[in-house]
Structure 1
């Protein structure tokens, strides 16, 4: 259901195409406003990852993204901008350093040239080169009286300690002893470099302690690895459920008989279980047969199987975790809890009971256990009914305890939007019952539920349960106030009351006959449309129902064998 928002449309509920979660979603190719900025999420995918998303021009349900994925996308964009900014700063700094080096080299050349113009007898050795550079090009005039001067030279090595700056003793450079002066200068420079090398080697380097990430125990990961090892090396059968229907964990095929489920599961390679395991859901495994796949050992206990594959087959099983999955022993009819031995009529009730043993969300008021936090929240609302916020439907008088339930009700009931997809084709249905019938009629799913008390077989658990309660358990809770008759359904009691009041409110539009119950009218209408296959051999009368034929023979032709 789309909701208009001043910052952009919101779809609630919606299926996020990035993480698969059902929650509030936004449209990928619609512009939204956030913190004063305009953002289109499809364009952000292109900018950050170079990923062009498909189906952006299709249905609204195919181009949704939830708030969690939007936050992650914004973080990715911010990280990309941060990296680009630092890269730009690094490049600009590199260019500036390169320009400074060129300016410094130019200045050194100018200084050297100035010295050459003023002093032809001075030769300077560069610290960066080991070979001396002699810039004197003109021969010295022997007739010219030489002048004796002295030059104090101080060498400084940058980025070193203050002790590395050492003044040189004055070197007299006379015209007759020019070569000797150069040699002395080079020897002193070489001795200085040796002292500097000794100082650098003698300075202690700081010892940095290597940081080691502390080793942590991921128990969830250990549980998953144990489950995979158990399924791959045993005949334990993992499965999925929808209400009380069993589904293959590999191909999602539906089964009613757990024996057929186990046979079908054996056709799949257990090595592929690691690819289909869903760690977000509580894992269910049928342990009716365990046994080892690697040898002929017969094992009927999970703990014994763990000891067997570790000691005999040298498989790795983590000992720090237990209760990796919920164990069941599936069979047709009454199901028994493997932990406490309590019996249940159908699987959905047994699974709900298993929260007592495996539920991690516990009510601090009454101690009730639940598998999911949202179920615990709903339960806690029953303890403080005054503070419960109810969500009212604007189309009818119903109220709901969550906004999601209200929106789902509006979409399914009032807007007639399909919400039950078929897992074998692309059809989507308005109700669970319609999908149920679709799988039976179109995909040929066989659903047979035999009654334990008689030979009748039903095609749904609901009809089997109603049959047991009405016929075998005699749960007739609706009693007539005028007689002693009891009924299973209130509608049956209302139909019965017409026998006391004499009302005949159901009239046939073809012949004008009146009937006290709608069911009786429906049976009568068949006489106008269906073939009358029950014909009397003594008179021209014919009937569509065998009961009407027998009544005719009993009243019109008594004493005759009408069977």
Structure 2
């Protein structure tokens, strides 16, 4: 039995009602007269929070099932040296070496802890190496992550949330070229490919420019670029129309402490990232950077030179001549 205080506006008086389970229908009819207390509001807020926690837990558990039941391996990020392992701090300049490292070094115990501290669905994004994907339970190959999920569901009775694919960004490193696994477009480096992947995931869309993004956090960072105004440099008299331009100016001219100018091996800092690349190759034996132009046979050792070449010779963009005084 549950005692519920009911207010009947027709009689303008309070009365006590004893509601039993068999009279749920009557309770639903009278619910518009039930008084909602602050305790009820707090309870509803807790229930909403629990539903959100349950959703992220289901997604994380499903991703762990994929890691345990296949040869798919996660990528934490592209660091100063190369592709970083999601379970330790080791980096590899070749993604294929990272996959071998992950499969040989990190077993079931590590995979069960994957995303253990992750709490928010707004930041969930799993970069997954799906090269030569196959099921570890029966050795069946799969062309992509969706096919693998269907296989695990039908053949091995695994369960996955319907929106899981919205949070898994797949990559395939079948050759030395950096190619999108979904549209087969080639890119000069992994960071540009990573930005391109937002084209295929429109979970959150920018109202200003219409670009789509994998999660809400990336959209919020993108929206920051649309803010305009007057942003003064903290070190000199220059003024910029966006905070992004102000930040880039301060880092490049005054601070000189951005990540791209720091050696990934010894931590030595450089004013220019091309000098940093030369240092890593000569001193630490890093693999030389070779960027090939997609329109001709020329190659370059840095992204800046490649972009300048492409604009000047293939897009026919010429710098405007300086006006005479």
Structure 1 and Structure 2 fold alike (TM over 0.5): yes
TM-score, normalised via structure 1 length: 0.38
Q: Provide TM-score, normalisation by structure 2.
A: 0.61
Give, in whole Å, the separation in 2 of the partners of 1:237 and 1:425: 28
- CA change 1:449–1:285 in 2 (3 A) is same
**Paired position in structure 2 for 1:373:** 220
Corresponding residue number in structure 1 for 2:257? 418
C-alpha displacement of 1:446: 0.9
Q: How do 1:49-448 and structure 2 match up within 5 A? A: 216=51, 218-239=54-75, 240-241=77-78, 246-271=83-108, 272-273=110-111, 275=113, 277=115, 279=118, 280=123, 282-319=125-162, 321-330=164-173, 331-333=175-177, 335-336=179-180, 338=182, 341=183, 343-346=185-188, 347-370=190-213, 371-379=218-226, 381=227, 388-393=228-233, 395-399=236-240, 401-402=242-243, 406=246, 409-410=249-250, 412-414=252-254, 416=255, 418-420=257-259, 421-448=262-289
| 8 A Cα contact 1:291 1:298, kept in partner | yes
Gaps of 5+ in 1: 1-205, 382-387, 479-488, 495-563
Q: In the alignment, is the contact (CA less than 8 A) between 2:274 and 2:302 conserved in 1?
A: no
Tell me which structure has the larger Cα radius of gyration: 1
Q: Is the 8 A contact 2:129 2:170 kept in 1?
A: yes
Kept after mapping to 1: 8 A contact 2:81/2:91: no
| Bigger RCO (CA 8 Å, 6+ sep) | 2
Summarize the Cα distance change of 1:281–1:313 in structure 2 as closer, same or farther, 3 Å threshold: closer
In structure 2, list runs of 5 or more residues that go unmatched: 1-17, 22-39
CA gap of 1:249–1:344, structure 2 versus 1, over 3 A, is same
TM-aligned CA distance change 1:411 to 1:378, over 3 Å: closer
Q: In the comparison of the two structures, how many residue pairs are matched?
A: 262
Over the residues paired in the alignment, what is the CA RMSD in angstroms? 4.3
How far, CA to CA, are the matches of 1:398 and 1:345 in structure 2? 34
